[in-house]
Amino acid sequence: MGLPLSAARAGTGIGAIATFASTFLAWTWTAAFPGDLSVTGYPGGLQVLTLTGAILTLLFVLAGYEIRGLRWLSPAGKNGPALLFALGTFVTTWFTVIAITVDLGGLANLEPGAYVAAVASLIALVAALGLPSDVAADNTTANAWQRFVHCFKAPTPKEATALPGWAEILIIAVSFGLGLYVFTYGIDIDSDNPQLFIGFLILVGFGATAISRAGLNRRLAGLTSKHKNVTVTAAFVAAFAFPFTQSNDAYATIGTNILIFATVALGLNVVVGLAGLLDLGYVAFLGVGAYTAALVSGSPSSTIGLHLPFWAAVLCGAGASLIFGVVIGAPTLRLHGDYLAIVTLGFGEIFRITMQNLDGSSGPDVTNGSNGIPNIPDLELFGFNLGESHTILGMELGRFSNYYLLMLLFTIIVVTVFRRSDQSRIGRAWVAIREDETAARAMGINAFRLKLLAFALGATLAGMAGTVQAHVTFTVTPAQYKFVEAVPPNSAFLLAAVILGGMGTVSGPLIGAALLYLIPAKLQFMADYQLLLFGVALILLMRFRPEGLIADRRKQLEFHETGQLDAPKGDIGLKKAGV
């Protein structure tokens, strides 16, 4: 038997308020624990995450009462989101308490505030487990675990009251602003404070699930599809504002590398997500663009000795990758499935080994072998040297911030190409080939030519990103383009970014690439177990979210039950048909 609804909501709310109050007390007596949780009256570090979780838990509890102004928060589920936020707050709080105990050596290092937080978050969670499920048919006979499981299954959101146009645009702008704040908060966490980043991941993970179960993501998706131009503008305004939020240019490094990784992943999404071609050697096209730019950009170690302007280097890198894409794709795209994957994997390794052997000993002296091409000069655009600091809008931007803004421009180009391709006749033909190539051929589609076009376009986009990567990293070496490497981008992580984010979508690979780059960069102490954890994460993803974090409607219908009745089988079907 569950708790009465009023008692469960009251208990969850009281627990959330007590948890909120506990963050203003000292949790430990020493500042040795990262974040300094010893100050009374001023939450810091992991306390801020607990405070945020408590506030969100309380808000969604109040939304269950359908209080005017809060109804919009939970269009699909009244109780599931509150339970998920209570669980996220509980896990974050208890993780902090355990981390203090382990790092400082015993329970004696806990102050009363930590005990209050642990007990209060437990009370909120236990009371939230008593909330009735939003979808359970018979809540009176369901136990706490069954009600908890049902909270992960949100019903269809209710029809929202129409809002004025300006209000819908404001909601979109605020949503992207909050997204920028969360992303910036994660990047700004010092890598020497992994406890805070783990707590951040815990709360964001439960929070994203709660928002999804509340139906807010669907409601926001409806607004963004209604105001597409506003959405695209808001997204890139938020991205443009990122370097202006950074006080340390070192954090902008992560943002720049994420954009490079994400742009290449989006190019791979053309090949895998739209055309359905499994390419395991895609990182080689990034390397072709990077090596081409390194050879023609004036590096003292270049064996060619050219120094072309940047726009010419970009064209050379993109053109070289295009040629390689056609040359490799023409003989191999007649293969299908696993055979195509093996051939592309072989191409990736052939490229890396070839670059390593062009050292003047094993072959012609072109790439300096395993030493690569170092000392690639910084770019100069319109009189600005991107390697120097510049003041823009009253703020000083360092080297990596400059390259971030340049890479953002390239990302806009790639996103535009992807969206135009996806919405064109060619894009629809790619999807048809991906779903059933035999049927597409029967409808008159030239499958080979269109697959070659997808392969060439994906290679061109990767080569274009490689031209910027060469200048950002100063050096291009063959070791950067292995199939699996500890530091992305590499073919395995690029493919994982597409699958994790959601194949065939624009935002999916961007989010997937950001997660796969940011998490290893912040949790460096787990580098020895990175591939193991990566494999576990993929297994969990395939089990619980096979369509990816951001999935289109087709993928959702493909991987999940639609609620439609199955077609009758056997004699029963014949009898119903009157036969």
Which tens digits make up the pLDDT trace of 324-343? Answer: 999 988 888 888 878 888 98
Report pLDDT for 138: 45
pTM: 0.83
* In 72-140, beta strands by DSSP E: none
Q: What is the mean pLDDT of residues 283-308?
A: 87
pLDDT over threshold 70, residue 173: yes
Alpha helices in 387-473 (DSSP H): 399-422, 425-435, 437-442, 447-473
Residue 383 half-sphere exposure, CB side, CA atoms within 13 Å? 0
DSSP-H helix ranges across 156-301 = 165-188, 194-214, 216-226, 228-241, 249-269, 283-296
- % of the chain residues with pLDDT over 70: 87
Checking if the pLDDT of 92 tops 90, the result is yes
pLDDT at 467: 92
**Which has the higher per-residue pLDDT, 93 or 497?**
93
Cα–Cα dist 373/309, whole Å: 18
Q: What value does the mean pLDDT take over residues 397-411?
A: 88
Tens of pLDDT, residue by residue over 199-227, are: 999 999 999 888 888 888 888 888 888 88
Mean pLDDT calculated for residue range 262-276: 89
**Between 354 and 484, the higher pLDDT residue:** 354
Q: How confident is the model at residue 575 (pLDDT cuts 50, 70, 90)?
A: very low
First to last CA, the chain: 49
Exposed/middle/buried for residue 291 (C-beta within 10 Å: 0-12, 13-18, 19+): buried
pLDDT surpassing 90 at residue 390: no
Name the average pLDDT for the chain: 83
Three-state SS for 566? coil
Stronger pLDDT, 393 or 378, i.e. the higher one: 378
Strands 395-397 and 390-392: antiparallel
In terms of pLDDT, which residue wins out, 141 or 107? 107
**Domains of the chain, CATH where assigned:** 5-222 (no CATH), 270-559 (1.10.3470)
When pLDDT is averaged across residues 28-48 and rounded to a whole number, the result is 90
Give me the mean pLDDT over the 70-89 stretch.
Answer: 81
- The string of pLDDT tens digits covering residues 443-486 is 888 889 999 999 999 999 999 999 999 988 888 988 888 877 65
Would you place residue 18 in the very low, low, confident or very high pLDDT band (cuts 50, 70, 90)? very high
Q: Is the confidence at residue 25, as pLDDT, over 50?
A: yes
Residues above pLDDT 90, as percent of the chain: 23
The pLDDT assigned to 19 comes to: 95
The confidence score (pLDDT) of residue 159 equals 59
Which residues are registered as beta bridge partners of 385? 380
